[in-house]
């Protein structure tokens, strides 16, 4: 899957304010690497989001104790839209 651009939803920025600084730093590194390589990194363990939009994916961001997941989609033109960034429990609740 080729990534040509990365954009963020308004809801993502609301979530961002609640995320621990270590997760923010790790997430910034992930997005920087995706932007540079134009591909999804194996380390995010991306997989389809079950019980959600058929075009949505989930990726992982972890820094030891803190584990978060981000919800995203990739358009046919290669635009990656980051929808949400939540801890495991909040993402599980969203997916139900």
CATH code for the domain in which residue 11 is found: 3.30.2310.20
Per DSSP bridges, beta strands 56-63 and 5-8 are: unpaired
pTM (whole model) above 0.85: yes
The number of domains in the chain is 1
> pLDDT tens digits for 5-20?
999 999 999 999 999 9
46 vs 61: CA distance, rounded Å: 10
**Structural domain harbouring 11:** 5-95
Tokens 């990726």 belong to residue: 59
Determine contact, residues 6/31, Cβ cutoff 8 Å: yes
Confidence of residue 74 (pLDDT cuts 50, 70, 90): very high
Q: What is the CA radius of gyration of the chain?
A: 12
pLDDT > 70 in the chain, percent:
99
For range 64-82, the mean pLDDT: 90
Q: What is the pLDDT of residue 48?
A: 86
25 phi, psi to nearest 5 deg: -65, -45
């Amino acid at each position: 899957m080729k990534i040509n651009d990365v954009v963020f939803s308004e809801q993502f920025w609301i979530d961002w304010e609640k995320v621990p600084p270590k997760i923010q730093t790790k997430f910034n590194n992930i997005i920087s690497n995706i932007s540079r390589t134009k591909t999804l990194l194996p380390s995010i363990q991306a997989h389809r989001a079950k019980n959600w939009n058929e075009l949505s994916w989930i990726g992982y961001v972890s820094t030891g104790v803190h584990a978060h997941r981000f919800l995203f989609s990739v358009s046919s033109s290669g635009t990656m839209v980051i929808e949400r960034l939540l801890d495991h429990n909040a993402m599980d609740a969203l997916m139900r």
